[in-house]
Amino acid sequence: MSKCVFICPIGFVEEDILERITGCIKSRCGIVCKVSTGMENPKYAYDEHRSQYNSKLILKHLIKCCPHEALGFMGVTHVDLFVPVLKFVFGLAQMEGQCSIISTHRLRPQFYDQPSDPSLFLARVEKTALHELGHCLGLTHCRDRRCVMYSSTRIEDTDSKQSDFCPTCIELFQWYLDRYIRTT
């Protein structure tokens, strides 16, 4: 398979975060994953009233910049994201599309006044990246609380789920991936 997932840092993103995401996608999904050239901080998406960044505007920008040969194009940023109907989001994806965005902002234990915990933080990043990639390939939210495709509306939801797809979601993931490869 010549197609791969590109991870695009938006603003400053630590190297260990990018390495964790690429390694996770390679090992859990069997998909080649590379870090692309980064983008500037998304000032165009900043909402002064909320002091947050509109993830839909960032996603639209990513869609315009997506490499033609990409299976997926995932933006990773440190800014706090929202969609207009929610207070915040950990990430957002094009359903059955190529692009997604994740934020590390609310994944850090320090955001919740907890001590720094690099292992917990990177596990949250990994789960969020897999979740959004799943949406890009067509997966919806799963009812199994342990599945990485379970909806995370609170950080506790992210912490309680595993870094893997449940048996049903992995089967669907492979089916969607095979279908995508056959049609491109």
Q: Which of 15, 96, 132, 171 is catalytic?
A: 132
Contact (Cβ atoms closer than 8 angstroms) between residue 33 and residue 25: yes
d(CA 163, CA 133): 13
| Residue 104 DSSP one-character state | S
| Residue 95 DSSP one-character state | T
Contact (Cβ atoms closer than 8 angstroms) between residue 5 and residue 74: yes
15 is known as an active-site residue:
no
The pair phi, psi for residue 47, each rounded to 5°, is: -110, 110
Contact (Cβ atoms closer than 8 angstroms) between residue 103 and residue 69: no
d(CA 30, CA 5): 11
d(CA 77, CA 105): 8
d(CA 79, CA 54): 10
Active site residues: 132
